[in-house]
Amino acid sequence: MDGNTEEWGPFGRPLFDDPSARALSRVGVVDVGSNSVRMVVFDGAARSPAYFYNEKILCGLGTGLRETGHLHPEGRVRALAAIKRFQLIAKGMRLAPLTAVATAAVRDASDGPAFREEILRETGLELYVIDGKEEARLSAQGVLLGWPDAKGLMCDIGGSSLELAEITGGDVGKRVTSELGPLKLAGLPGGKKGLKAEIARTVDALAQEMGTDHKRLFLVGGSWRAIARLDMERRGYPLTVLHEYRMTPKSLAQTLKWIEKVDLEEVRQRTGTSSARMALVPIAAQVLKRLIRVFRPKEIAVSSYGIREGMLYEQMPDRLRKRDPLIEACYFAEKKDARNPGFGKALFSFLGPLYKSAKPAELRLVKAACLLHDVSWRAHPDYRHEVCFDNATRANLGGLTHEERVFLGVALLHRYKNSRDGSRFEELFSILTDEDCARAEALGKAMRFGAMFAVDDPLDKAELRWFPKKRELHLHLHKQAVDLFGEVAQARFQSLADALGAEATVKTRR
């Protein structure tokens, strides 16, 4: 925290105005992996960055590495061409020098050093080759970027390696690396039996080193994400956002069996997965099956944040790392897009009486909703509620479960629309319980009413008082604000009371 918590309540003052945070506002990183070469340019609130630019080329540098000991020749050509392009793009964006790392394929290949020299000579980019434990640390830091309080075992699968790292209390603990990457395993002798035996032997050894007391696995890497997308497809899950997607071991085990039987080309087309990625799924599925069997987690979570985000996290000052990524992103969105930046804080205070007994997790969502309540005002009024819902559920926001995304979306939908009947998002509402839907609706209608006092600090005009046991909602109007409480405001206040199942009472202060 930055020492100004009293002014901003339990969430602290936003740090994106701090010079040390703004220095991170546009950062370019390049990740040269065994399967893909990618450049990401992060932009926006430093603690929860937006992807200003994101491009990936599936080069397959690690293809055939086990047999030849060399980087794949065509992959080398494609990777060099991709990096040349990335350097020109970075120059056009006037970025600070790119930070570039290479992982298993380049570090294991006999021609890895020559490839690095070629990259430096042709592009001027210094390619840092990191070892497996460092790769595990950076990937685990990427998970922490999205989940500051994450606790569990990070499992990062690349084309030529698999890394594991303990995460607890915001720190990265023990780390190990292995050769359980699909590209590396593809050349293994002995057919299916040989593959199964090698996976079992290696995973069992990893478990001996890391222990099996990890309640949650955090899956990092494109092959895991492809499997998670197939899990969604099998289940008919409506929200196809991979980050923070949760699976039970039982459900995932059913999907892994399903993968062995299903027509992968057919599901590849349905899910929009690339052919190169889907080709790695069968072997990756075998590795994941063994991980689940040996480590016995209670839950599996997908992280879209990995080594690239870990490289950004590496550059953050410690106080910034401790901030809530969701709230920081919402602060930034409000400042950039709201009609009245700063009103979200006032609205949160105005609605405070409704949430006196709320738990921190709910209060956090209320805060986020208040900050975002007006950022979509430029959308057409007839569709503003849809834009709000879509932004909340699909946006690149860290620190949100899928249930929390939909809760936030429903609340923001009701900020602009009284009813959600007949909504095209209806199947997504099923992710919430009826009780949570009702709470989100009440929050949305509370914001819808509170926005009627957006001329200034609402507390200078009126106060809410909520008596949950009596189911009574009181509005105390200051005398000078009586004329603000017009017909629309009266209707919105009654709608809020109805959502709370309460009797509405209006009193005027002298």
271-303 burial: b if 16+ Cβ within 10 Å, else e: eebeeebbbbbbbbbbbbbbbbeebebeebbbb
Residue linked to tokens 């995460």: 167
* Euclidean distance between CA atoms 219 and 150, whole angstroms: 13
Cβ atoms 36, 55 nearer than 8 A: no
Sort residue 18 into left (φ over 0), alpha (ψ -120 to 50) or beta: beta
User: What is the mean predicted confidence (pLDDT) over 37-50?
Assistant: 80
pLDDT category of residue 160 using cuts at 50, 70 and 90 = very high
User: What is the mean predicted confidence (pLDDT) over 476-482?
Assistant: 89
| Assigned token pair, 247 | 């699976």
Of 232, 249, 246, 231, the C-alpha closest to 298 is 249
Q: DSSP states of 429-491 as a string? A: HTTS-HHHHHHHHHHHHHHHHHGGGTTS-GGGTEEEEEETTTTEEEEEEEGGGGGGS-HHHHH
User: What is the mean predicted confidence (pLDDT) over 446-466?
Assistant: 87
User: What is the mean predicted confidence (pLDDT) over 274-301?
Assistant: 96
- Res 164 pLDDT > 60: yes
- Res 7 pLDDT > 60: no
pLDDT of residue 19: 63
Question: What letter does residue 11 receive in the DSSP assignment?
Answer: G
- Res 307 pLDDT > 60: yes
pLDDT category of residue 297 using cuts at 50, 70 and 90 = very high
- Res 49 pLDDT > 80: no
The helix/strand count (H/E) of the chain reads as 24, 14
pLDDT category of residue 13 using cuts at 50, 70 and 90 = low
| Assigned token pair, 17 | 């105005």
| Assigned token pair, 325 | 């990524």
Residue linked to tokens 């909340």: 392
Percent of the chain with pLDDT over 70: 94
Please write the tens of the pLDDT for every residue from 171-225: 999 999 999 999 999 978 888 999 999 999 999 999 999 999 999 999 999 999 9
pLDDT of residue 189: 86
Of 176, 146, 152, 148, the C-alpha closest to 162 is 176
In whole angstroms, what separates CA 509 from the centre of its chain?
Answer: 46
pLDDT category of residue 66 using cuts at 50, 70 and 90 = confident
- Res 15 pLDDT > 60: no
User: What contacts 131, CB < 8 A, 6 or more positions away?
Assistant: 107, 177
Of 80, 87, 37, 29, the C-alpha closest to 59 is 37
Query: What's phi and psi for 171, nearest 5 deg?
Result: -120, 155
- Res 50 pLDDT > 90: no
pLDDT of residue 388: 93
| Alpha helix ranges (H) inside 127-168 | 132-146
What is the Cα gyration radius of the chain? 25
pLDDT of residue 10: 44
Question: What letter does residue 179 receive in the DSSP assignment?
Answer: S
In whole angstroms, what separates CA 360 from the centre of its chain?
Answer: 20
pLDDT category of residue 22 using cuts at 50, 70 and 90 = low
Query: What does each C-alpha distance from 112 to 10, 72, 181, 381 come to in angstroms?
Result: 50, 11, 18, 56
User: What is the mean predicted confidence (pLDDT) over 429-452?
Assistant: 96
- Res 252 pLDDT > 50: yes
pLDDT category of residue 481 using cuts at 50, 70 and 90 = confident
pLDDT category of residue 11 using cuts at 50, 70 and 90 = very low
Please write the tens of the pLDDT for every residue from 339-386: 999 999 999 999 999 999 999 999 999 999 999 999 999 999 999 999
* Euclidean distance between CA atoms 44 and 124, whole angstroms: 27
* Euclidean distance between CA atoms 43 and 91, whole angstroms: 16
pLDDT of residue 46: 64
Helix, strand, or coil here: 501? coil
pLDDT category of residue 14 using cuts at 50, 70 and 90 = low
pLDDT category of residue 428 using cuts at 50, 70 and 90 = very high
- Res 45 pLDDT > 80: no
Which of 19-23, 141-145, 221-225, 299-303 has the weakest average pLDDT? 19-23
pLDDT of residue 8: 42
For all residues of the chain together, what is the average pLDDT? 91
Helix axes 73-92, 112-123, angle to 10 degrees: 30
pLDDT of residue 318: 83
